[in-house]
Structure 1
Amino acid sequence: MNRDFDRLRPRAGLPGVRLHDLRHTVVSLLLSLGTPPHVVQAIARHAGIDVTTAIYAHTNMDEMRQALDAIEWEAG
């Protein structure tokens, strides 16, 4: 599959992008959109949810700021 993708990606305008990069992006986007981790795990076909949450769940600085602002708003 990687060989086919490497052949097709220049025509798609994706130089320097690996197939794994696209997979990583999709999983990260699903998680950031609030998709339950067990659903993302099933889509990505990870053996365990720990792979989904440990490797792919990146905490976004904006999301952390919003969470802290929400606490501050409630306390204020």
Structure 2
Amino acid sequence: MSNLTNHSFKPLLKHAGFKNIRLYDLRHTCATLLLAAGENPKMVFERLGHESITLTLDTYSHVLSDMQKKAAEKLENMLFG
């Protein structure tokens, strides 16, 4: 991993004018954006390759709480217009 990071990833970041970030940060951002966009957590779990969906749900609970609010609003609109 360090060869990929040191010889490819970091030079690409520097060339693009980005600050030093980790590959893990991109993975976390991808998962967060997918969940925030309403993607099914099971799909995100599978994409990340977590051992259990519980890990995914616990790790990204900050995004999921917003999804709970949106779900409640949708249900309220369905029931009461």
Tell me the TM-score normalised to structure 2 length. Answer: 0.65
Change (3 A) 1:22 1:37: same
| 1:26 maps to 2:2 | no
| 1:2 maps to 2:1 | no
Pick one of 10, 13, 16 that aligns with 2:20: 16
Change (3 A) 1:51 1:19: same
- For structure 2, the residue ranges without an aligned partner over 5 or more in a row are none
Change (3 A) 1:6 1:53: same
2:48 corresponding residue in structure 1: 44
| Cα deviation, residue 59, structure 1 | 3.8
8 Å Cα contact 1:27-1:40 kept in structure 2: yes
**Alpha-carbon distance in 1 for matches of 2:20, 2:12:** 12
Q: Which runs of 4+ in 1 moved over 2 A?
A: 1-4, 59-75
Size of the aligned set, in residue pairs, is 75
8 Å Cα contact 2:31-2:44 kept in structure 1: yes
2:62 corresponding residue in structure 1: 58
8 Å Cα contact 2:41-2:57 kept in structure 1: yes
